[in-house]
Amino acid sequence: MLPVDPARFLDDLNDLRRFGASGVGKGVSRPAFTEPDIAARDWLASRMAEAGLTPHFDPVGSLFGLAEGRSLLMGSHSDSQPEGGWLDGALGVIAALEVARAAREAGGPPVSVVSFEDEEGRFGVTTGSSVWAGNQTLEGADALVDPAGHRFADMRAAFGDRRGDFVDPTRFSGFVEMHIEQGPVLDSTGGTLGVVEAIVGIRDMHMSFGGQQNHAGTTPMALRKDAFQALAAFNGLLQERFANVVAPSTVWTIGHVALHPNAASIVPGRVRFSMQWRDGDTDRLARMEEIIRRTAEEVAAARGMTLDFGPMLGLDPVTMDAGLRGALERAAEAEAPGAWRVMPSGALHDSTNVARLMPVAMLFVPSIGGISHDFAEDTAEADLVSGLNCLARAVAALD
Ligand code: HGY
Ligand code: MN
Ligand code: MN
């Protein structure tokens, strides 16, 4: 096993947490291209250089720490959700850095490190790795707009002349990403490590209902074209119509709702909302899309209201590479005998995109209480170290 240094690893993890520290527990707010995100990447670049790696920003702000010649790529993302945890993405980046350092100290194998930009999708869906992998064109990404109306093209310009070209993916033999589970399975079963078998697919879009803004006191209910009521009816019908299509693991979320004008005494005339759904089966994702579109059209027509669909972004389910996964399984058995399992990922990860370019595999550590995308996200330190040791074992075995 490579001579990883848990104290150095934990110190870097805690240093990274300083950038965008939310002041609530260990939480961070470090969305893509914000000042804390850029400062964190500059700090990561310096740590990569100190580790003997060549820091390289690509055109969208993804940061690579490059080893010479052909190498194994490891990493994740260091941007966060607006209310994010200190480990989502950051754990994979810092663990990769520590394995890369230990590998150099041990005389090999060469390991490169990456922190992808905008994995959390302030603009799209895993935008940085999606562009690198060709799942999204740079022109397409540049046209993306965040909820506040900022354009991706303008925001990525903040990296200025730090940016170089896209890194040639053929210099890497594969990609290994460690990540917190972000779900309840390992935590509730007392597991220490999860070896991922597959990552679910996702569909994500915004929709709008347009009605008639009016007085909340004088407008009879029967005459209203109330955008909130349209959304409520749409959501109610979805639950019914999904019933015989979805599986127990299927998820769907309306996480962002903007009512206009969002005032207590005004019948809302417009609502724009996010519609996101995930499943391990591409056909099921397509059937759900058909139900979503048809149901929204019915609701709008029945109320004499307008309906707009924004562009739909999506990624299909991906299966992990058998060889890399096998190395993680053997390392997990050595590190935590009987305390690991093979499991799917209900969360999306950069590995989904990188799988288009090279073999990928993922390792999970538990999330306390299954909590993530929340300031309260956390993992026991002993589990963080077990994950690092497992990576160190696997990378040594891959050499
Ligand atoms: O939403 C996700 O699955 C990822 O954490 N961005
Ligand atoms: Mn993540
Ligand atoms: Mn996340």
- 91 Cα: distance to centroid of ligand 1 (angstroms): 14
Terminal-to-terminal C-alpha distance of the chain: 11
- Segment 26-54, tens digit of pLDDT: 999 999 999 999 999 999 999 999 999 99
Does residue 39 contact residue 19 with C-beta atoms inside 8 Å? yes
The reported pLDDT for the residue numbered 290 is: 98
- 177 Cα: distance to centroid of ligand 1 (angstroms): 14
Residue-wise DSSP of 314-383: EE--EEPPHHHHHHHHHHHHHHSTTSEEEEEESS--HHHHHTTTS-EEEEEE--GGG--SSTT----HHH
Closest approach atom of ligand 1 to CA 126: 6
Does residue 79 contact residue 23 with C-beta atoms inside 8 Å? no
Closest approach atom of ligand 1 to CA 119: 6
- 173 Cα: distance to centroid of ligand 2 (angstroms): 22
CA atoms of 393 and 399, how far apart (whole Å): 10
Instruction: Locate 253 and state its tokens.
Output: 């979320």
State which residues of the chain have pLDDT below 70: none
Where does residue 46 rank: exposed (0-12), middle (13-18), buried (19+ CB within 10 A)? exposed
The reported pLDDT for the residue numbered 23 is: 87
Q: Which amino acid is present at 180?
A: I
Closest approach atom of ligand 1 to CA 373: 5
Mean pLDDT of the chain: 97
Q: Which amino acid is present at 341?
A: R
- Segment 73-115, tens digit of pLDDT: 999 999 999 999 999 999 999 999 999 999 999 998 999 999 9
Residues, CB-to-ion distance under 5 Å, ligand 3:
88
Cβ of 348 less than 6 Å from ligand 1: yes
Instruction: Locate 133 and state its tokens.
Output: 């992998």
Instruction: Locate 26 and state its tokens.
Output: 């260990």
Q: Buried b / exposed e across 286-315, counting CB within 10 Å, b at 16+?
A: eebbebbbebbeebbeebebebeeeeebbb
The reported pLDDT for the residue numbered 1 is: 86
152 forms beta bridges with none
384 forms beta bridges with none
DSSP annotation of 21: B
Instruction: Locate 148 and state its tokens.
Output: 């506040």
CA atoms of 162 and 158, how far apart (whole Å): 9
> Would the pTM count as exceeding 0.85?
yes
**86 Cβ neighbours under 8 A, 6+ residues apart:** 13, 16, 17, 26, 27, 28, 377, 378
CA atoms of 88 and 375, how far apart (whole Å): 11
The reported pLDDT for the residue numbered 391 is: 98
Cβ of 347 less than 6 Å from ligand 1: yes
Does residue 317 contact residue 200 with C-beta atoms inside 8 Å? yes
Cβ of 120 less than 6 Å from ligand 1: yes
Mutate to test the pocket of ligand 1, among 116, 125, 348, 350 (most ligand atoms within 8 A of CB): 348
**355 Cβ neighbours under 8 A, 6+ residues apart:** 133, 175, 318, 320, 321
Q: Which amino acid is present at 137?
A: T
Pick the residue whose CA is nearest to atom 4 on ligand 1.
Answer: 348
The reported pLDDT for the residue numbered 4 is: 98
